[in-house]
Amino acid sequence: MRPLFQFVILSVIVSCLLVFTQCRKDRFITDPSAKLGFSTDSLTFDTVFTSVGSITRYFKIYNRFARSMKISGIELQGGSSSPFRINVDGFPEDELTDIELLPKDSLYVFVEVTVDPTSDGLPFVVTDKVIFDVNKNLQEVDLVAWGQNANYISADTITCDDVWTSEKPYVIYHFAYVEEGCRLTIEAGTQVYMHANAGLFVHGTLRVNGKKDEEVVFQGDRLEPFFEDLPGQWQAIHLLRGSGQDTNRIDYAIVKNSFLGMTFGQLLESDTEIEFDAVPTFLFNTIIQNTQQSALFGFFANLYAFNCLIFNTGVNAVQLTLGGAYRFDHCTFVNTGSPYLEHEDPVLYAANYFEGVGSVDLIADFNNCIIYGSLDDEIRLDKKEDAPFDLLFDHCLLKTKANISDTSRYQAIVQNQDPSFADTQEMDFHLMSGSPCINSGFDIFAGQFVYADLDGKTRDAQPDIGCYEF
């Protein structure tokens, strides 16, 4: 009986093994018509600067069947020489084999790209593909990125009297510094991209020679859609005290998505007694938008701004502190918040002192300007009695609770009326028909010459309030 028993047991074991092996084979679908599904057939990256890595993007692989699929191979076609890098569900390899994809399951494929420099000044395309081998079927997902060569500046002092042109963009890491006695000229159409926390510091002179439709643009260096309106991507443009020995002038610039937009002036450690010695800066036809903090920060500065638009700020659109001399003509300052920014501080803050430093004369004129937002009061005036505090709002639309009967400060004011912008959600601050700003301004140049709005449209003898003429 014993040999017979052993034979029966052995037969059972062998049968189980055969059944198990057959089950293992049967659990993978082998039909050549069974193919993987993909979330996309082409993964595209927006413009990537040479030598600067992209953000990580991904696509998904799907098994839409009721049985497991065996992926014989996943391969980045360009291999180790490809500008792209892939990571399949946690495995950062150019090639993987024998991956099991369970029924109704999916895998992530993460992709990054770093583009090598070329001699081309224009954007160029780089491509590769990820190839999948399943049941002797080859499937693929295309990878496409636009590369852009650039001039790179990293924690460096700019060559004295340098001129930046629009031939290739400029990418700044850490900081770029214009030293005292030197000038940086930026020509029309130039694109300046700032890496995270980078800034432009000017102790010499800055000339930005933008033109209508050829603006000089300052923005972060991440160009993917997620970063399009994201504040705080880079630091600021800092015009330091003593800069502009032969006058700073900025014309048709766009400054966006920074921590601070533009700062004017600074407190020097050697200051024991404050004296007003700042050289004027002229800011014409400029847009500042989506700043994490204040967009225009004046610290004991001297500034003239004309036809400027500032909107979507984390703190103030205009913050003037420790006095200074300012004039704003035909400017529009607006804040109603954004998906990234809470609007809790007034559009305008003005003070003739700075805590721990002292008080300094403040002179600020606002002519034909709009100061408007979603708060009940968009103006905060912070005055110390031991220094002059001389502000004038002339022919302006103001959102304020202030008593505007004081004609030494308020003249011909449109108070607490909706300016009727075209579409604040779409960041369109042109005036609509019926706006109280239409024909409510005055000719700031008293007929001496004809002048235009931010769009280049000629203003008539009875101009509109704000940066745009209806």
- Higher pLDDT pick, 120 / 468: 468
- Compute the distance between CA of residue 257 and CA of residue 288 in angstroms, rounded to an integer: 9
Selection from 221, 204, 200 nearest residue 263 by Cα = 200
Residue 244's pLDDT band, with cuts at 50, 70 and 90, is low
- What is the sign, positive or negative, of the torsion defined by CA atoms of 333, 339, 345, 351? negative
Residue 26's pLDDT band, with cuts at 50, 70 and 90, is low
- Compute the distance between CA of residue 192 and CA of residue 175 in angstroms, rounded to an integer: 12
- Higher pLDDT pick, 418 / 114: 418
pLDDT at 9 over 50: no
Phi (first) and psi of residue 428, to 5 degrees: -110, 105
**pLDDT for 275:** 52
**pLDDT for 398:** 98
The whole-chain average pLDDT of the chain stands at 90
Amino acid making up residue 133: D
State the virtual CA torsion across 322, 197, 454, 392 in degrees, nearest 10. -10
Residue 18's pLDDT band, with cuts at 50, 70 and 90, is very low
Judge contact between 280 and 247, C-beta under 8 A: yes
**pLDDT, mean of residues 248-268:** 92
pLDDT at 24 over 80: no
Percent of the chain with pLDDT strictly greater than 90: 73
**pLDDT for 125:** 86
| Number of residues assigned to the chain | 470
Burial class for 439, CB neighbours closer than 10 Å (0-12, 13-18, 19+)? middle
Burial class for 87, CB neighbours closer than 10 Å (0-12, 13-18, 19+)? middle
pLDDT at 52 over 90: no
- Compute the distance between CA of residue 414 and CA of residue 398 in angstroms, rounded to an integer: 6
- Compute the distance between CA of residue 139 and CA of residue 395 in angstroms, rounded to an integer: 67
- Higher pLDDT pick, 136 / 27: 136
**pLDDT for 268:** 60
Q: What is the pLDDT of residues 57-72, one digit of tens each?
A: 999 999 999 999 999 9
**pLDDT for 264:** 93
* Minimum mean pLDDT range among 2-11, 75-84, 94-103, 219-228: 2-11
Task: Kindly give, in sequence order, each residue whose CB lies less than 8 Å from that of residue 370, ignoring residues fewer than 6 positions away.
Answer: 331, 332, 333, 334, 396, 397, 419, 437, 465, 466, 467
Looking only at the bridges linking them, the beta strands covering 287-291 and 309-313 are: parallel
- Higher pLDDT pick, 305 / 450: 305
State the virtual CA torsion across 215, 218, 223, 228 in degrees, nearest 10. -90
Q: What is the pLDDT of residues 428-463, one digit of tens each?
A: 999 999 999 999 999 999 888 889 999 999 999 999
- Extract the tokens encoding 343: 């609007």
pLDDT at 272 over 50: no
- Compute the distance between CA of residue 154 and CA of residue 175 in angstroms, rounded to an integer: 6
Question: Taking the chain, what is the end-to-end CA distance rounded to the nearest angstrom?
Answer: 108
Residue 278's pLDDT band, with cuts at 50, 70 and 90, is low
**pLDDT, mean of residues 195-222:** 95
**pLDDT for 202:** 95
Residue 280's pLDDT band, with cuts at 50, 70 and 90, is confident
pLDDT at 283 over 60: yes
pTM of the predicted protein model: 0.81
- Compute the distance between CA of residue 114 and CA of residue 85 in angstroms, rounded to an integer: 8
Q: How distant, in Å, are the alpha carbons of 5, 140, 271 from that of 10?
A: 9, 48, 98
**pLDDT, mean of residues 236-264:** 91
Task: Kindly give, in sequence order, each residue whose CB lies less than 8 Å from that of residue 34, ignoring residues fewer than 6 positions away.
Answer: 65, 69, 134, 135
Judge contact between 464 and 470, C-beta under 8 A: yes
pLDDT at 273 over 80: no
Q: What is the pLDDT of residues 104-115, one digit of tens each?
A: 999 999 999 988
pLDDT at 50 over 60: yes
- Per-residue burial over 46-79, b if 16 or more Cβ lie within 10 Å, else e, is bbbbbebebeebebebebebeeebbbeebbbbbe
Task: Kindly give, in sequence order, each residue whose CB lies less than 8 Å from that of residue 250, ignoring residues fewer than 6 positions away.
Answer: 206, 207, 208, 210, 281, 282, 283, 284, 286
Residue 393's pLDDT band, with cuts at 50, 70 and 90, is very high
Q: What is the pLDDT of residues 135-191, one digit of tens each?
A: 989 999 999 988 888 899 989 999 999 999 999 999 999 999 999 999 999 999 999
